[in-house]
Amino acid sequence: MFVEKFGKEEKINEFYIKYKAMTGIETIKNNLIDRILATRNEKLLQAISNIFDSTQTDDIVSLSSEKIEMLLMSEKDIESGNLISESELNESDSKWLN
C-alpha cells in the first residue's frame, strides 16, 4: 500500500514539475485547448477556425520567374560585394525624391 501511494505521489510530483517547466506558449496553448473543449458556442469556434485559416504560416510561397531572377541577381550582388549601407540608400532615396 505504501509503494502504491508513493507511486501516485511521485507521478503527481512529476506532473507538477513538468507543468511548472512549461514555456509561456505551451501554457497558452493548453489554456486555449481547455477553453475550446469547454465551449458550446458555435460562432466562437467558427471565429477561432477562421483565425487559424487566415494565419497559416506553412503556406508554400510560389514565385514567378521574374521574382526568382531578381533573387538570383541579389545573391550575385551580395557575393560580388555590390552593396550599399542603409544610410547611403536613404540618402540616394532623398535625392531621387527631391
pLDDT of residue 98: 80
pLDDT of residue 42: 95
pLDDT of residue 93: 87
Same domain, 75 and 49: no
Same domain, 36 and 7: yes
pLDDT of residue 26: 82
**Residue 60 belongs to some domain of the structure:** no
CA 97 – CA 69 distance, rounded (Å):
27
Whether the model clears a pTM of 0.95, i.e. scores above it, the answer is no
**Residue ranges making up the domain that contains 39:** 2-54
Print pLDDT tens along the chain (98 aa): 444 444 556 656 665 566 565 667 788 888 999 999 999 999 999 999 999 888 776 666 788 899 999 999 999 998 999 888 888 988 988 888 88
pLDDT of residue 70: 92
CA 93 – CA 60 distance, rounded (Å):
33
pLDDT of residue 21: 58
Q: Which among 45, 23, 22 is positioned nearest to 33, based on CA atoms? A: 45
**Residue 59 belongs to some domain of the structure:** no
* Domains: count for the chain: 2
